[in-house]
Amino acid sequence: MKIIVLKFGGTSVGTLKKIVKVAKIITSYVKKKYKVIVVSSAMSGVTNELLDKTKKISENFPNDEKDVILSTGEQISCALIAGKLNELGYKSRSWLGWQLPIITRGNYNASRIIKIQKTKIINYLKSGGVPIVTGFQGVNSDFRITTLERGGSDTSAILCAKFFDAEKCIIYTDVEGVFTTDPNLTKAAKKIDKISYEEMLEMASLGSKVMQPASIQEARLNRIEVDVRSTFSKKLGTTITKKKNIINKNTIRGISFTKNDAKITLIGVKDKPGVAASIFKPLYENSINVDMVVQNISANSRETDLTFTINLEDLIKTKKLLQNNKSIKFKNLIVNKNVSKVSIVGVGMITTPGVTYRMFKALAKKNINIEVISTSEIKISVLINKKNLKKSVEILHQEFKLNHNL
């Protein structure tokens, strides 16, 4: 069986008119003799509205009931798609997570899919039906409805491709693919034809919002080739694939950035073992994600300044935790909200020397000050003043020739 998984994101099914368009895309694959499994998100905005309701009715709405509510958005969009396909003369029906079932494990609101039962869908495909499967949801061993993390329909689609052994998984969304950087920031951005799992994972985690990072990790682990393309354009999108399949040898594949970081500096912290751990422990216990970290030895070598970045929305909580933390002493706490993290990403940097130097030199030429640096094997991130964001991205785009041969 030539199975293909088509996933439609929230904006692709955001209005009834758009759902008609989606139905036409689905039938075009049926006509090409594919056995099509559709996975859909909720209509855009719906999941947020549902979440708001839970917050309004109770300050501590139970997580298991939250999943019952949040999962309903997908039930609506899937039924609408199936209904339209029926009208167009195709056999189609919605399948909710528990009806397959899609079996999950882990906490409510953040479950993981561990298995998808194939039999019912395979039989349905054999009978000529087009199953429309709800993304983002499953059922656990207590037979309760669960949801994955937000944006989890991408993961649902990729794991459908895995369990049904699909030839392809296509993510239909509202952008034409993955770009070298955000086209809303600069006209220089170019669509990337092929990107490796590793690069895509870094790009997604660093702020390029095309796909949910966890879904790319699943694609990478299971070696599932993913196409990302627009529901509203005929243009070919971006293929996320193995490094081996990428001929273009650009050192850097793309530039990501964030706009919602805050930088905290603790001045005059005692320089002795265990201090950094006692600063970060309460943050960890409160699920505050610390990103970049630097520590400077002070002149007298008994004290140090510690700088780190967090998500802006965690700022108030973080400040409180630091100020109320009896086990650490510091002279001053400085906050800077006007920072952005800019990252260059590319597997090519593993084998190409001098990338760091080129990045720093390019920024220096434009008089852009680097405040914090962090690196991994395939990315280099710098923290800069937010006002220099566009300038930085553009100069790096130029330096690494990202508008050529992608």
- Give residues in contact with Mg ion (CB under 5 A): 9, 41, 151
Query: Least CB distance from residue 101 to ligand ASP, whole Å?
Result: 18
| 265, 307 contact by CB (below 8 A) | yes
CA atoms 238, 243, 245, 249: torsion sign: positive
Residues 253, 194: Cα–Cα separation, whole Å: 9
Identified binder of ligand ASP from the candidate list 19, 23, 37, 42, rule CB under 6 A: 42
For residue 47, state whether it binds ligand ASP (rule: CB under 6 A).
yes
Q: Which one of ligand ASP, Mg ion, none is in contact with 97 (Cβ closer than 5 to 8 A by kind)?
A: none
Interacting stretch for ligand ASP, rule CB under 6 A, among 92-100, 146-154, 259-267, 297-305? 146-154
Query: Least CB distance from residue 25 to ligand ASP, whole Å?
Result: 18
Residue 55 CA: distances (Å) to CA of 52, 59, 70, 152, 205: 5, 6, 12, 21, 27
For residue 41, give both structure tokens.
């998100």
For residue 10, state whether it binds ligand ASP (rule: CB under 6 A).
yes
For residue 41, state whether it binds ligand ASP (rule: CB under 6 A).
yes
| Crossing angle of the two packed helices 63-70 and 72-87, in degrees rounded to 10 | 20
Identified binder of ligand ASP from the candidate list 146, 153, 381, 388, rule CB under 6 A: 153
Query: Least CB distance from residue 184 to ligand ASP, whole Å?
Result: 20
Q: Quick one: 76 or 328, whose CB is closer to ligand ASP?
A: 76
Q: Quick one: 154 or 182, whose CB is closer to ligand ASP?
A: 154
For residue 205, give both structure tokens.
């985690």
Q: Quick one: 215 or 307, whose CB is closer to ligand ASP?
A: 215
Query: Least CB distance from residue 231 to ligand ASP, whole Å?
Result: 14
Identified binder of ligand ASP from the candidate list 53, 144, 150, 319, rule CB under 6 A: 150
3-state secondary structure of 292: strand
Query: Least CB distance from residue 135 to ligand ASP, whole Å?
Result: 5
Size of the site for ligand ASP (CB under 6 A): 11
For residue 171, give both structure tokens.
């993510």
Residue 174 CA: distances (Å) to CA of 5, 177, 383, 399: 18, 9, 29, 29
Query: Least CB distance from residue 26 to Mg ion, whole Å?
Result: 18
The number of C-alpha atoms within 13 Å of 75 and in the hemisphere containing its C-beta is: 14
Query: Least CB distance from residue 357 to ligand ASP, whole Å?
Result: 40
Residues 177, 183: Cα–Cα separation, whole Å: 11
Say how many Å lie between the first and final Cα of the chain, rounded.
Answer: 33
Q: Which one of ligand ASP, Mg ion, none is in contact with 42 (Cβ closer than 5 to 8 A by kind)?
A: ligand ASP
| 199, 254 contact by CB (below 8 A) | yes
| Polymer length of the chain | 406
Query: Least CB distance from residue 11 to ligand ASP, whole Å?
Result: 9
Q: Quick one: 147 or 196, whose CB is closer to ligand ASP?
A: 147
Give the DSSP H/E element, type plus range, for residue 275: helix 275-285
Q: Quick one: 195 or 228, whose CB is closer to Mg ion?
A: 228
Q: Quick one: 73 or 129, whose CB is closer to ligand ASP?
A: 73
Query: Which residue is associated with the tokens 């002795």?
Result: 272
For residue 239, state whether it binds ligand ASP (rule: CB under 6 A).
no
For residue 137, state whether it binds ligand ASP (rule: CB under 6 A).
no
Residues 44, 13: Cα–Cα separation, whole Å: 7
- 102-105 and 112-116 as β-strands: parallel, antiparallel, unpaired? antiparallel
Name the residue with the smallest CB distance to ligand ASP. Answer: 153
Q: Which one of ligand ASP, Mg ion, none is in contact with 135 (Cβ closer than 5 to 8 A by kind)?
A: ligand ASP
Of the candidates 197, 47, 6, the one whose C-alpha atom is nearest the C-alpha of residue 137 is 47
Binding site residues, ligand ASP, CB under 6 A: 10, 41-42, 47, 73, 135-136, 150-153
